[in-house]
Every structure is written in C-alpha cells, then in structure tokens.
Structure 1
Amino acid sequence: MLNVIINHLLIFSGWSALALVFLLPALESSVFLGFVVPGETAVVVGGFLAYEHRVSLPGVLAAAILGAIVGDSIGFWVGGRWGDSLLARLPKRLVKPEHVEQGKQTIHRLGGRAVFSGRWVSVLRALVPGLCGTSRMKYGTFLLWNAIGGVTWATAYILVGYLAGSAWQRVEHYTSVVSYSLLGAIAAAIAAVVLVRRRRQRARDRETLQEMAVDEAEAGPAEPGGAVPAPSSASRSSEV
C-alpha cells in the first residue's frame, strides 16, 4: 500500500500533489492512518517534488503544515468524543490497553510537551492527539504545542526531501528508522520510570507495614475475650 501511495505522489504535480501532501498527514492522526502509512513519507516526497519544480516549495510547506495541524486537531476532537471506545476497538497487537493507560499518565505529567514529542514518532503521531482529547487536555494548550510541532516537523521533512533530491528514497528509509528508534527509546524510558515507581511504592508499603507492627507491639497484647477491666476501688467509692 505504501508503494502505491508513493507512486501516485510521484506522478502528480501542482494542486493534486499538494492535496495529497495535505491529506496524508491530516488522515494520519484523525483516522489512525499512521499505523499503516507514516505521514513523513508523503512529506519527504513532497519535498522531492519541490526539488523537481513540480510544486512550489512554499506551497508544499503550507500543505504539509496545515495537514499536520488540522489532522491532529481532528484527532483531538475525536479523542474527546469517542476516544476510549475507538481505542478499545483497535487490534491489541497494535495498541495494548496498558500502553494506552501509560500514555494517558504521560500526557497528564508532560502536558503540551507530549504533543510536541509525539509529533516526531510515527506510532505516537497517530495516538497522541486522540489521547490528549481523551485525557481532557485544554485545547488551547494542545493547539499551541500542536502548531509548534507541526511547523517544525513538516519543515524538517520537506527540507529533507528537497535537499536530498534524487536520493530521497534512501533518506526516507533512514527517517523511518530514526522514527522507530525514537519510539523504542521512549518506550524504554517509560518502562524504566514505571519500574522505578513500582519499586518505590513497594518500599513505602514495607515501611508502612513495619510501622504498623511497631505500633501494635508498643500497644501491648489485647486482653483475652476483649474483657473490660474492673473498676478500681477508688472509682467505686467516688460513685457512692
């Protein structure tokens, strides 16, 4: 499928090519197309088309940037409306429930920085906008970081295709490798943070149990049968 899309991109020029450069990044996160076709492929090809003067460089930059920002905004809205139900229907081999939960916790912790970071990793690019909507992030915060990420990401990949020229296919392969390497590094970092937190929680639980045991030992053993001690003679005489 990826080769078919690339071949279609390569034979188009002008407005038809710009439309595809806009649509593929837009569809990547709005309908989870990024699991099948990474948006940076279309953007790199768009840079190559600008190199061949089949589209203008400013035009393809605008198309890629708008596609990234609009697509993520749609993904954010869809996530806020139907996020949990849609994520539950995705194949478990692609999106595991525990990964979704970890993603939500990461978004709560990092805020807008998660939006910017997710823009640079193909799998996260398809997930992060929806997770932000599901996590009820403020749209103003999301839009700011979405715009920053969309502008820098689209500009970088357009220039990669433009400057690489006829060698764009080799460069595009390397960008995919880098993208998945970043995903692996992020996953490893999240796993390390989760492991450290679990160990700290277990240590706190052990300390709490030890403190409870010390308190019980200092309180002394309870009387058998829970019998109430008999009142003293002093107390009996005061009652008379």
Structure 2
Amino acid sequence: MLNLLVTLPPALVLALVFLLPALESSTFLGLLVPGELAVLVGGVLAHEHRLSLWAVIGAAVAGAALGDQIGYLVGRRYGHRLLARTPRRFVRSGELRRALELVRRRGAVAVVLGRWAAALRALVPGLAGMSGIPRRAFTVANVLGGALWAVTVAVLGYLAGASYRLLERRLGWGGEALLVLVVLLVAVRVVRSRRATAREREAAGGHP
C-alpha cells in the first residue's frame, strides 16, 4: 500500500490524505486501511517538495474531523438500530454496554486517545454518539485530537523522508500498544464490576 501511494500523482495523494481519514469512522474503513498511511505518504511527498506540508496537514485535519463527526452522528441516530442487529451473544455478555459506559465516563479523553489507534478511530466516534456525549464536547475533542494526530503523522513523514516504511511500522506498533492498553483497562473494569456484583448478591442472599 505504501509503495503504491508513493507512486501516485501528488494531487491524488492529497485527495487520499483527506478521504482515508474521513472514511475511517464514517464507513469503518479504518478497521481495514488506517488513514495514517495516506497522511504519512503526504508528509514524505512534502519532504520531496512534491506537496506543501501545510496542505497535507490541512487535508488530514479536515478529513479526520469530518469523518469522526459523521461517525458520531451516525452512532447518535442509528447506533441502537445497529446494536439490535449485533449477534445476541455479544449483547448478552454486556461487553457493548460496558464499552459505552467507558466512553461515557471518559468522554472527551476517550475521543482524543482513540485517535491514535486505527481500530479505536473507527469505533470511538460512533460509541460517543450512542453514549450521549454532548455534541459540542465531542466536536472540541474531535478537532483537537484530529489536529494533534494529523500534525504529528504528517511532520513525522516529512522528517522521515525515505525512511517512511520503518516509521509506518513503528506507528503501527504504537497504535497496537495503545489498543492493548485500552483493552486491558476495560478488562480490569469488567472484572471489578463482576466481583462487586457477586459481593452484592452474596450480601443480599445473607440478609432475608
């Protein structure tokens, strides 16, 4: 994918710098193709003076913010319908409900942190919409997180130049590490919740 993007005309790469981040959460494309690939290559082309670095950053910020805003609105309006079509074993397990509660509790922090892992980028905006996070709070966190992410990835691509392949792998490792951390935090929360429920049931059983 990286080799293909580097050989494309600069104008087309700039369009992809906008489109891939925009489609990550609005269409869940981020589960398959992370938008940072296009932003990274855009930074490399800026290093080669084939694109303006500011144009790359602007396109990435706009795409990231617009895509996540659409994902938020879709989750807010249709999220529960989508959940109704989720396999029953996932709904009965309570994992989706706990994930929604986590996003609701962390709010803007979850939105900003979710920007740094491809899987979270695709899912957090919709979950934020379903969890009831106010639109204004989400928009501020969305723009802030998208801007930090876009500037960081584009500038790293610019600085890396010909070493972009190694940088892409390291970014991927960082995103995977963050995803593992989030999963562990959710798992700890689930275990604590189940233990608390078990203690409450034992207490209720011991007092008629």
2:171 is the alignment partner of 1:162: no
Aligned residues: 204
**Where do residues 114-193 of structure 1 align in structure 2 (5 Å cutoff)?**
114-193=110-189
Q: Could you say which residue in structure 2 is the equivalent of 1:36?
A: 32
Q: Could you say which residue in structure 1 is the equivalent of 2:201?
A: 205
Q: Could you say which residue in structure 2 is the equivalent of 1:66?
A: 62
Matched letter for residue 26 of structure 2: S
C-alpha separation between the residues in 2 aligned to 1:135 and 1:196? 21
Runs (5+) with no aligned partner, structure 2:
none
Matched letter for residue 109 of structure 1: R
Deviation at 1:118, TM superposition (A): 0.9
Cα RMSD for the two superposed structures: 1.8
C-alpha separation between the residues in 2 aligned to 1:22 and 1:76? 18
Runs (5+) with no aligned partner, structure 1:
213-240
Deviation at 1:11, TM superposition (A): 2.4
Choose between structure 1 and 2 for higher RCO, CA contacts under 8 A separated by at least 6 residues. Answer: 2
- Kept after mapping to 1: 8 A contact 2:10/2:45: no
User: Is the partner of 2:51 in helix, strand or coil?
Assistant: coil
Structure of larger gyration radius: 1
- Kept after mapping to 2: 8 A contact 1:13/1:49: no
> Percent of pairs identical after alignment?
42
* 1:83–1:163 CA distance, 2 compared to 1 (3 A): same
User: Is the partner of 1:54 in helix, strand or coil?
Assistant: coil
* 1:196–1:99 CA distance, 2 compared to 1 (3 A): closer
Q: Could you say which residue in structure 2 is the equivalent of 1:75?
A: 71
With normalisation by structure 2, the TM-score equals 0.90
Deviation at 1:14, TM superposition (A): 4.0
Deviation at 1:102, TM superposition (A): 2.5
